[in-house]
Structure 1
Amino acid sequence: MAGPKIACIGVIGKADAPLHISLFPPYSDSSIEFSFLLNSCLDIFEIRGKQTSVDQDLGLLHAIDERLAAYGWLTTTGVKLVIIVDLFGQEEAGKPTGPAISGLRDSELKPAFRALQSAYIQLLQNPFYSPDDHAPVSGNTAASPSTCQPIFNPKFIAHVKRIGESWAPGKVS
């Protein structure tokens, strides 16, 4: 029986513009739907960010439906990391597996969030990466995706893909 799998990883900038979105099978062709789902998490980040210290695992942001659940992590720089988990996991031979019996504990995603934050820190340490290119144009009070550039760094994207493909509940690395 297959367990929960990561369906989407999103990196959202301080000004709430998406910096990177990775989708994993079988959701690879669902970019618009997942963009809306990631956007729906932003209000929850704002509310919980005021209630907790920075660099915090915010846990379950919301259950999207019986299959998908969004979890969040807020960095000290205000960058938001979102992982959307498919609680049913991969279907075997066309048969739905159903959700995990014990559900998914928030702590089971901490290794994935830490690895994702580490990949983002490595990106920031790259002398050829300019985070200012990924922030809204100064003077623009309404940040929109058109004013921010997404992250195209191949090393960062490879790290995110590896995290999404290799994560499993209870797996530490």
Structure 2
Amino acid sequence: MTSRVPSIACIGIIGKHNNPLHISLFPPEERAPLEYQFLLSSCLDIFEARLPHKVADQDFGLLQAVDERLAMYGWLTNTGVKFVLVVDMEGRPATAQDSKTSIAVGLRDADMKSAFRALQTAYIMLLRNPFYTPDEHSPLAANAEHRVGSTQITSRKFIQEVKRIAETWALGVTHI
């Protein structure tokens, strides 16, 4: 039997009004989108419960262990946007590169920081795009103007960067 190492199963970006801005599954053909949407929604209460106790740290650490295989980690931006990483502890077969690093039984919060920092950088680059208006992706703005628009992020460059982050992340990687 080949050994398996953790990998990112899902990346969710949730707006400040708790609306999903972006959800990516890895690999998409093996994941049930509705199941992961439910999982992402279930972690919103955890963010709210921990928010009064957070001072300056954006890393919310382990939000919840769904089962022995899936774990959810969270990060909050200064603007109230939440990043959620769902890690599959048996995500992919181990490679020769993985054997060079110590494969831990579990993940530490520090193992996730490089992915969260890379996601935050990708999101900041999206916000710097003059053609992207974050308020257009708010469900409150869409309802106020009675328009039917997507509240999802559709930038191909951002989506490709999210995919790159998920595929690059591994235990022991300190910079993505």
- Give the TM-score, by structure 1 length: 0.86
Give the partner amino acid of 2:105. Answer: S
Counterpart among 127, 131, 139 of residue 136 in structure 1: 139
Please give the residue correspondences for 1:23-172 in structure 2 after superposition, counting only pairs within 5 Å.
Answer: 23-25=25-27, 28-54=30-56, 56-90=58-92, 101-138=104-141, 149-172=151-174
Asked if structure 2 preserves the Cα contact closer than 8 Å seen for 1:17 and 1:148, the reply is no
Q: How far apart are residue 152 of structure 1 and its match?
A: 0.2
Q: How far apart are residue 3 of structure 1 and its match?
A: 1.1
Asked if structure 1 preserves the Cα contact closer than 8 Å seen for 2:5 and 2:93, the reply is no
After superposition, the CA RMSD in angstroms is: 2.1
Higher helix share: 2
- Within 1, Cα distance between the matches of 2:93 and 2:167? 16
Query: Which residues of structure 1 form unaligned runs of 5+?
Result: 93-99
- Within 1, Cα distance between the matches of 2:18 and 2:82? 8
- Within 2, Cα distance between the matches of 1:51 and 1:27? 38
- Within 2, Cα distance between the matches of 1:43 and 1:56? 16
Matched length: 162
Q: How far apart are residue 61 of structure 1 and its match?
A: 0.1
- Within 2, Cα distance between the matches of 1:64 and 1:26? 19
Query: Which residues of structure 2 form unaligned runs of 5+?
Result: 95-102
- Within 2, Cα distance between the matches of 1:9 and 1:17? 14
> What is the identity percentage for the equivalent residue pairs of Structure 1 and Structure 2?
57
- Within 2, Cα distance between the matches of 1:150 and 1:66? 31
CA deviation map 1:10-67 (0-9, x unaligned): 0000000000000002664411000000000000001111110255100000000000
Q: Secondary structure at the match of 1:116?
A: helix
Structure 1's consecutive aligned runs of 4 or more residues displaced over 6 angstroms after TM superposition are none
Q: Secondary structure at the match of 1:4?
A: strand
CA deviation map 1:100-120 (0-9, x unaligned): 653100100000000000000
Q: How far apart are residue 89 of structure 1 and its match?
A: 2.1
Asked if structure 1 preserves the Cα contact closer than 8 Å seen for 2:65 and 2:71, the reply is yes
Q: Secondary structure at the match of 1:3?
A: strand
TM-aligned CA distance change 1:17 to 1:135, over 3 Å: same
TM-aligned CA distance change 1:21 to 1:53, over 3 Å: same
